[in-house]
Amino acid sequence: MSRLRAALDPKSIAIIGASDNPNKIGGRPVAFLGKFGFRGKIYPINPTRPEIQGHKSYASLADLPEAPEMAIVAVAGDNAITTVEECAAAGVKVALVMASGFGEVDPHEGKAKERRMVEAARRAGMRIVGPNCQGLANFGSGAVASFSTMFVDMERSQNPGHVAMLSQSGALSTVPVGFLRERGIGVRHSHATGNDSDVSVGELACAVAEDPEVKLMLLYLESIPDRRYLEELSSIALDRDLPIIALKSGRTAAGQQAAQSHTGALANEDRVVDAFLAHHGIWRAPDMRGLVEATELYLKGWKPRGRRLVAISNSGAVCVMTADAASSVGMPMAKLAPETDSKLKTILPSFATTTNPIDLTAALLSNSRLFGDILPVLAQDPAADAFLIGVPVAGPGYDVEAFSRDAAAFAEQTGKPLVVSATQPSVAREFSARGTTVFPTEVEAVTALNQFIHHRELMETTRQRRAARGTSYPLLQKPAQTTMLNEADSLALLASRGIPVVPHRLCLSRNEAIAAFTAIGGPVVVKGCSADIAHKSELGLVKLGVSSADAAGELFSEMEAIIRREGARFDGVVVAAMAKGRREMMIGAHRDPVFGPVIVVGDGGKYVELLRDTQLLLPPFVDADIREGLHKLRIAPLFTGVRGEAPMDIAALVNTVKLIAELMRDEAAGVLSIDLNPVMLNSEGEGCMVVDAVVFRSG
Amino acid sequence: MSRLRAALDPKSIAIIGASDNPNKIGGRPVAFLGKFGFRGKIYPINPTRPEIQGHKSYASLADLPEAPEMAIVAVAGDNAITTVEECAAAGVKVALVMASGFGEVDPHEGKAKERRMVEAARRAGMRIVGPNCQGLANFGSGAVASFSTMFVDMERSQNPGHVAMLSQSGALSTVPVGFLRERGIGVRHSHATGNDSDVSVGELACAVAEDPEVKLMLLYLESIPDRRYLEELSSIALDRDLPIIALKSGRTAAGQQAAQSHTGALANEDRVVDAFLAHHGIWRAPDMRGLVEATELYLKGWKPRGRRLVAISNSGAVCVMTADAASSVGMPMAKLAPETDSKLKTILPSFATTTNPIDLTAALLSNSRLFGDILPVLAQDPAADAFLIGVPVAGPGYDVEAFSRDAAAFAEQTGKPLVVSATQPSVAREFSARGTTVFPTEVEAVTALNQFIHHRELMETTRQRRAARGTSYPLLQKPAQTTMLNEADSLALLASRGIPVVPHRLCLSRNEAIAAFTAIGGPVVVKGCSADIAHKSELGLVKLGVSSADAAGELFSEMEAIIRREGARFDGVVVAAMAKGRREMMIGAHRDPVFGPVIVVGDGGKYVELLRDTQLLLPPFVDADIREGLHKLRIAPLFTGVRGEAPMDIAALVNTVKLIAELMRDEAAGVLSIDLNPVMLNSEGEGCMVVDAVVFRSG
């Protein structure tokens, strides 16, 4: 941890506004630093007392024997501002500002106060964490500079564990800690950064990711105002194989509204957040449970090789529910080898089930060795990628201790992921005590196992592809002005980039329209062309199936009249071939203010907004990324050809998407958004073709 | 409980194969009957001992002073059969057979043994529960005739509670009991019926539903071999306002396969199970958690009036996540009245949020009265249907006891549903102790609350509609033979029932085809007609857009040749109008062997199987049921008309679905399946029209 070291592992900490009462905001950090074994210097600052919680107290920063590396600003309101200015002047490296009442309550005056502090800090080379910040807690270094209630009844443990939890929110930086502690899992870092006026949760995460003791990082985010630190974090994490799970709230409109009243959070488009996190190998947890539930699995060091599950239970019903749960999340039940089956048959009673899931039945009650006997057989089966042992009921008569020993030995032997589901606390305790991860039901066990395996796959894919993907696309300044290109210009721009567009001519007179008909060959489409009119159909400016040159000429005049009547600029009339295709697709692109260019691809046609069979793709991407996106569409089964049809030309569609992405990367082109619908998709070898295009440009 | 009284509340119980060891199968029921206060006579039968667990033991049934109402058959294998025969002869009312090794392991010989027992019982008027049955446990009467390990460390409680849990599976009859017990919720009935050779879990459920002390019934089902008892159960339950939650496993192909190896369970089509349970007001739980998680809410006696949620927390992040969770499941955040907002503003500090969700911020730490002060204000808001209080972190400095008292008083005052989310066990305990239902996270709280409210709505709707729906449709005997009608006959059958079909003529000669063209007016569709050919397109037997009489005549000859070349019966050629429609829909119908006629309605066209935008409807139904089904389609937004389009004629579609259902009800018509695709749906007032039809009939 070289960067932000003074925030995570300072040599000295001053507490400005220190209190002798360990339950006051200014008292808690003093108490925590002592309790959690901070090895550096502790300097309480309080002019009214000679001593604070057993430490010598100082009247002011100036009285300290040295400039502290970190200063905790535990004074309230505007006093915090002057204190921060004093810290900057005194040579403090990091000021941690706990006071609230800044940007989170007042987006104007409050933010201005924050800026004042940050400017003072910048001038002096000091960093600020906060304000409105519950504090940073590094249990590895003992630097627990926090006033969290959660740490009050927490003991200092010998091993602080390997999990890091970061959040702007104070509550959310510690609630997961509570969850994990109940399961006996230590959290080494628990940081709440508050308003992120200077050091953001993303920057801090980059620093924490460099702590070699951190083996799993959990993030709670309400807003992603800047992509850069998350990109860097992803890169650090992939390099050192550190899994990151993010709970990004504000998924729904109601949630975003609440986030806005909470912290004035910028609303991110949720599907873009999904795509961005996945693109960077970060697992997105749907909720608090999803954030913490699989933690133990990540800490085991397993390298899963596949998703095929083997389930073993003494209850047939649990076997059924496990198979349901596994196949619902996309984990197939492993098909065991014939030799495995024969071996199992020699061990299990005749009424047990030797196919996977394996139902030991209540026979386990009379023969406790069944478990230990079948596990080595299963361990050898090449189809078994992961295991679930379900013990819904056991008790007097069952040798649960032996089961748990056998399971632990088995996990050790195979090195493959193993989870246990056990509802009864007495049973769960036995398995937990021997290091096996236990969930109350098979659904929770399968969900966690699937997350872990799926996330490791995602990390692996991301690692493999990232070099080929290249660097992220530029963000454009918000343009002062935007211009819609007319259809002819839109098509011409696309064609100039090698994107296949429908054969067409822009006609500026009736005679040109007649000539165009002859050149293209009927029937044709005739469309009025105006950079002022986006929705042509509604005005009668699109006519399909025009089957004579005269009709084309007549339409030229009609459409010119319509456009002029609307008071719009008349750019001419487009005469185009009637393009046919197997499926009408759509491709869109826009610039997200945070994440940059976003490409949308999906089922096209008139109702694209309503039926929403679309996928988001974040460039830079490789072909496989685009193919994966297309594969997730509901209409994907049609691409391979059904009922004797030929496959469709996915390669051509992929290529078009790539060309669109390249156009969006080109800052000079200044394209703000592209809407291509329909893009006619044809059979393999026959390509695809843009029929209708609307492009917006800056300037 | 008049029916099956001897199973649930017998006056005397004999245990055949009784053991002095309370951990043996024959010993546990004796121990449980004593421990759980069975008030009737207990007759252990064991010829080798004078006394069993303190009760006088008898050598045989014949030695008892009376015929016991219930006999627990705890002897193994084929001995169980002869014992059952002896019970029948002795006048026992219910024999509960624990032995396994019957139909569950051997579908032929095992089932034959079951039949032998059932026949003996039937002759004597005795009922059989089991075999392969863990037993029945009625903690209300103390008749705990079970060998479940789960009851070993369970204390007899003064109040056995109001929940009933029924299952064929032993483990699943008790695992939920364990879950609920941990939350301090008693389970009055916990019954495992095993192989259901005579008394099925459904029949037993009907009996248990008549116990007035039961206020919530939970079912675990692996298979529904017969709909009748569930229909009756639904009826009893709706009459006395008893909610039923069913966990039906075997949702997936993998799960069904596991269920088949487990118990030889019949595979139900899962979407039909969904539709059937919903149709009968039974909530389908997705998994074990979903079965038990909302139990406390059901026992409160709340009558929810809507789904609008008010959330209050001391953490802004919890506010955001609650809004996300609620809107994801379809609970909108209540829009509070302006008066509520003004009143809240006078109570809360300026930096708190007074819009819903209400963020009290850490101000709660300094002012514990905030909670108690705002609750009465919220109670008066007419938009508030339900409440969630989220306390993710509290501890020293927070008056959690006061919060919990205020919350309990508030719940009492409003009579509206209230849930609490609290991660810390110490906080959760305070709220629980005062009778408030607590969940570890807001997602679980919202999920349970939504289930409860949604389920009460479902029960209410079902109650309102059931009279109008009428009695369920008949099941047909599996026909010895099935016949496909040719297209002309299919269309004629539909037309005879008043269903609008495309104008068409069946032509038996080239001249008739030419005449048909002239009569209908071109362009037309020409289709080869043969009762031997289901997929006409593949053979070139469908020609669209035929625009001259001559061409129609020519096609007659061509299609006749094709059909004859296939060796198929030539029934003629259909000449039909080219029907146009706004949307191609599909309507299908088939007969489910368990649930009877099933109607499928959805988006039509060539790819209906692949894109699967369909909904199942189980007749008998009312119009509102059909409209609800249509409303759930992905394409539903198109029906109301988008982008200036007119609405579509949903009334006509609903009417067609009703006519199809009536046709399926008509046993005399003997229709086995109907496949109508496309059904052209037009604008309001313009109806819909069946264009293509395939009907299968018995005989």
Q: Tens of pLDDT along B493-517? A: 999 999 999 999 999 999 999 999 9
Q: Which residues sit opposite A590 in a β-bridge?
A: A598, A673
- Tell me whether strands A41-45 and A12-16 are parallel, antiparallel or unpaired: parallel
| Edge-to-edge strand ranges of the sheet holding A94-97 | A41-45, A12-16, A70-73, A94-97, A127-129
What residues have CB less than 8 Å from B680, skipping those under 6 apart?
B502, B579, B580, B581, B582, B583, B584, B585, B688, B689, B691
- A448 and A529 within one domain: no
- B215 and B171 within one domain: yes
DSSP string, B198-219: SS-HHHHHHHHHT-TT--EEEE
With a cut of 90, say whether residue B47 has pLDDT above it: yes
Does residue A474 belong to any structural domain of this protein? Answer: no
Q: Is the Cβ of A350 closer than 8 Å to some Cβ of chain B?
A: yes
Find the domain containing A566 and state its range. 503-577
Q: Is the Cβ of B637 closer than 8 Å to some Cβ of chain A?
A: yes
Structural domain ending residue among the three candidates A292, A318, A351? A292
Three-state secondary structure call for residue B620: coil
- B63 and B98 within one domain: yes
Three-state secondary structure call for residue A114: helix
Does residue A693 belong to any structural domain of this protein? Answer: yes
Residues of chain A contacting B637 with CB distance shorter than 8 Å: 607, 610-611
- The minimum CA-CA distance between B180 and chain A, rounded to whole Å, is 11
Does residue B83 belong to any structural domain of this protein? Answer: yes
With a cut of 80, say whether residue B338 has pLDDT above it: yes
- A128 and A11 within one domain: yes
Three-state secondary structure call for residue B221: strand
CA dist A265 and B345 (Å) reads 22
* CA neighbor of B690 nearest in space, from B504, B484, B482, B486: B504
What residues have CB less than 8 Å from A382, skipping those under 6 apart?
A337
CA dist A446 and A450 (Å) reads 6
- Mean pLDDT of the residues in chain B: 93
- The minimum CA-CA distance between A327 and chain B, rounded to whole Å, is 7
Q: Is A567 exposed, middle or buried (0-12, 13-18, 19+ CB in 10 A)?
A: exposed
Q: What is the CATH number of the domain that holds A169?
A: 3.40.50.720
pLDDT of residue A389: 95
Which residues in chain B (466-505) have CB-CB distances under 8 A to chain A?
Answer: none
* DSSP symbol at A104: T
Q: Is the Cβ of A182 closer than 8 Å to some Cβ of chain B?
A: yes
- A95 and A145 within one domain: yes
Q: For the whole prediction, is pTM greater than 0.90?
A: yes
Structural Rg of chain B based on CA atoms: 32
- A344 and A231 within one domain: no
- The minimum CA-CA distance between B667 and chain A, rounded to whole Å, is 34
Q: What is the mean pLDDT of residues B245-270?
A: 87
Per-residue pLDDT reduced to its tens digit, B110-151: 999 999 999 999 999 999 999 999 999 999 999 999 999 889
- Contact of B281 with B237, CB cutoff 8 Å: yes
With a cut of 60, say whether residue B1 has pLDDT above it: no
- Contact of B630 with B601, CB cutoff 8 Å: yes
pLDDT of residue B81: 96
Q: What is the mean pLDDT of residues B538-543?
A: 92
DSSP string, B16-67: ET--SSTTSTTTHHHHHHHHTT--SEEEEE-TT-SEETTEEPBSSGGGSSS-
- A115 and A42 within one domain: yes
With a cut of 90, say whether residue B51 has pLDDT above it: yes
- Tokens representing A64 are 């300290």
- B89 and B64 within one domain: yes
Three-state secondary structure call for residue A244: strand
Give Cα B331 to chain centroid, integer Å.
22
With a cut of 80, say whether residue B265 has pLDDT above it: no
- Tokens representing B221 are 């089902």
Q: What is the CATH number of the domain that holds A640?
A: 3.30.470.20
Q: Which residue has the tokens 């909670």?
A: B371
Q: How many domains does chain B have?
A: 4
Does residue A487 belong to any structural domain of this protein? Answer: no
Per-residue pLDDT reduced to its tens digit, B10-37: 999 999 999 999 989 999 999 999 999 9
With a cut of 90, say whether residue B474 has pLDDT above it: no
- B275 and B357 within one domain: no
CA dist B435 and B236 (Å) reads 30
B466-505 b/e (C-beta count within 10 Å ≥ 16 → b): beeeeebbebbeeeeeeebbbbbbbbbbbeeeebbbbebb
* DSSP symbol at A605: S
Among chain B residues, the shortest Cα distance to A289 is held by B441
Per-residue pLDDT reduced to its tens digit, A82-132: 999 999 999 999 999 999 889 888 888 999 999 999 999 999 999 999 999
Structural domain ending residue among the three candidates A433, A461, A489? A461
What type of residue is B192?
A: A
Of the candidate ranges A126-135, B95-104, B348-357, B460-469, the one whose mean pLDDT is the lowest: B348-357
Q: Which residues sit opposite A164 in a β-bridge?
A: A189, A217
pLDDT of residue A38: 96
* CA neighbor of A191 nearest in space, from A453, A17, A53, A1: A1
Three-state secondary structure call for residue A141: coil
- Tokens representing B131 are 């075999």
Does residue B397 belong to any structural domain of this protein? Answer: yes
- B592 and B573 within one domain: no
pLDDT of residue A1: 54
- The minimum CA-CA distance between B437 and chain A, rounded to whole Å, is 19
How far the first Cα of chain B sits from its last, in Å, is: 45
Structural Rg of chain A based on CA atoms: 32
Per-residue pLDDT reduced to its tens digit, B197-207: 999 999 999 99
Does residue A456 belong to any structural domain of this protein? Answer: yes
Task: Nearest by CB to B317, from A171, A253, A635: name it.
Answer: A171
CA dist A353 and A557 (Å) reads 79
CA dist B385 and B306 (Å) reads 5
- B185 and B326 within one domain: no
Task: Nearest by CB to B351, from A100, A357, A442: name it.
Answer: A100
Q: What is the CATH number of the domain that holds B537?
A: 3.30.1490.20
Task: Nearest by CB to B323, from A258, A325, A424: name it.
Answer: A258
Please state, as a whole number, how many other Cβ atoms lie within 10 Å of the Cβ of residue A624: 13
Q: What is the CATH number of the domain that holds B379?
A: 3.40.50.261
CA dist B493 and A112 (Å) reads 78
Which portions of chain A are predicted below pLDDT 70?
A: 1, 264, 365
Q: Is the Cβ of B515 closer than 8 Å to some Cβ of chain A?
A: no
Q: Is the Cβ of B397 closer than 8 Å to some Cβ of chain A?
A: yes
Three-state secondary structure call for residue B596: strand
Task: Tally the C-alpha atoms within 13 A of residue A366's C-alpha that lie toward its C-beta.
Answer: 7
- B167 and B40 within one domain: yes
- The minimum CA-CA distance between B423 and chain A, rounded to whole Å, is 7
Q: Which residue has the tokens 């191609």?
A: B584
Percent of all residues in chain B with a pLDDT value above 90, rounded to a whole number: 81
Task: Nearest by CB to A254, from B323, B350, B359: name it.
Answer: B323
CA dist B149 and B28 (Å) reads 9
Structural domain ending residue among the three candidates A551, A577, A603? A577
Per-residue pLDDT reduced to its tens digit, A69-82: 999 999 988 999 99
Contact B171 A261 (CB under 8 A): no
| ipTM, interface predicted TM-score of the complex | 0.94
Does residue B94 belong to any structural domain of this protein? Answer: yes
Does residue A606 belong to any structural domain of this protein? Answer: yes
